[in-house]
Structure 1
């Protein structure tokens, strides 16, 4: 096994310089840092992570809490956080709360037991007070897709209300007046904010809000077929549906087909998220782009900046959704 001493001899630097380079110390001159990493590559040196952790009082790991381990939302988020962390020689330990309060608490306890240096959190179930307590014990923490005023600098979030508004504004501009809405779980702040955006767009255009045109669904696939059927059975004059994510929109495509309705002709549908598959649906889905990759990168950058103390570009905290216009909305003008 190659040792630090051999790396130092190959690079013609001291062993302490090798150690400081491995730990990312800014005191190491750039020419020496290059020598060290060239030597590591040439010799195939593998740092002992346990020894590094003991020496630096760091685990070189970041804990990540997600709602679930499946689906098109959390997968890309986990991937981009992990990719950013690897570039700084950190590893990510991921735990899912399965959208249950007790399991989210257990996940946080588990991640702490692994002595993680920082945390990336996505949580709908934990109370603000719970998260503030977490931040108190692990300062290098970032909260994704949620805003808490007391830790505003540590929140990376999307303007969901604006996203709902631009979705429904677009449908109205295309001539639709009777617009249904299938929400995600209303226990989630994303759903409530997007619903408020729906209401804002209607009010701005002088259209009365009708509770009969709103049905609660889920961001995953569970039970959305019955939610779509209930909405379609309530009103035959409806010409468009705002689906609060692309999963719901996909289900709406299937239910419309069952009922002999052609999406983009008899019924217009707009989604939210711009998942990878949305462009391949038939017809391709008009949707609101959720800058998920950017959110993950910004969140990881915040935590890594806190841990490495390296200067980075300013963190963008409030991200803006944008309209992706495709073929699922008919122009009635």
Structure 2
């Protein structure tokens, strides 16, 4: 197995210069870098990543913690992060937290223990206090879809309240005055904000909020189906239903067909997220666009700028949702 000493000898440069090339140090000229890389290729030399990280105090790896590893939402986010980091020679180490405080904390500690240079976190259950302490300890991290005032510079957020408002305003503009709502879990910050937006849109239209027309779901498809049954079971009339994510909206659509309810003639439906299959449902789903790919890319850019001193990146911390109008909603006849 070739050694760094053999690379140094063949390239005719010092050990320090070889080390600078392996760590992408800008102080090495292109000509010298080419000599070192050619020597490494000729000898089949493979740098020892562990030794490199010990020597440079930089592992070139970023820990990424998401709630789940399945589904198009988190798939888009992880893809954006990995692509952006890889383009700059950094690698993602991915873990999941399953929306459980203990699991999220254990996963964060695992990623820190793996000597990740920084963390990108989509966490929902671990406490604000824990994350504030993490920042105080000097851990470099970015939060996606969570806002904590004391560490606001670590947060990249969607305006979820505005998204909830847009969804409800849309059906109100279509003359639906009786609007039902299926929320996400009430303990989640984004679910609270989306429901608040729904309430505010009703208030601005001088329509009283009716808590009986709200069902608390869990962001899973089956809770959309259960939510439609529960809302119909109240005996209260409604001509439109807003769902706090697209998975629950697809559950509503499936159950509505089983009940022979025609969409959108008898029931208009609006989702939230604009995940890939929203445009392939039948009818195609009107939804609020959640730019999670762009937010994942921005989180990676924050890490590149703040942890790796990458210059020239345009950074933003708040994203604004947009309504994507399709065929699942229509003017009330």
Q: Fold match, TM over 0.5?
A: yes
Where in structure 2 are the equivalents of 1:18-167 lying within 5 Å?
A: 18-29=18-29, 32-33=32-33, 45-167=45-167
Between the two proteins, the alignment pairs up a number of residues equal to 333
Which stretch shows the higher mean deviation, 43-52 or 288-297? 43-52
Q: Deviations over 1:31-75 (max 9, x none)?
A: 655665677678765332122112112222211222122222222
Secondary structure at the aligned position of 2:297 is classed as: helix
Change (3 A) 1:12 1:285: farther
Counterpart in 2 of 1:179? 179
Where in structure 2 are the equivalents of 1:173-322 lying within 5 Å?
A: 173-235=173-235, 237-322=237-322
Q: Deviations over 1:273-315 (max 9, x none)?
A: 0011110000000101101001111111111222221203231
Which runs of 5 or more structure 2 residues have no equivalent in the other structure?
none
Which stretch shows the higher mean deviation, 238-247 or 108-117? 108-117
Aligned 8 A contact 1:2 1:43 in 2 = yes
Secondary structure at the aligned position of 1:64 is classed as: strand
> CA-atom RMSD, angstroms?
2.3
Q: Deviations over 1:73-102 (max 9, x none)?
A: 222212221222222222222222211111
Change (3 A) 1:264 1:42: farther
Measure, in 2, the Cα distance between the counterparts of 1:220 and 1:304: 34
Change (3 A) 1:78 1:40: farther
CA shift, 1:129, in A, is 0.8
Measure, in 1, the Cα distance between the counterparts of 2:232 and 2:126: 35
TM-score normalised according to structure 2 size:
0.92
Measure, in 2, the Cα distance between the counterparts of 1:147 and 1:154: 8
Measure, in 1, the Cα distance between the counterparts of 2:34 and 2:318: 37
Change (3 A) 1:22 1:209: same
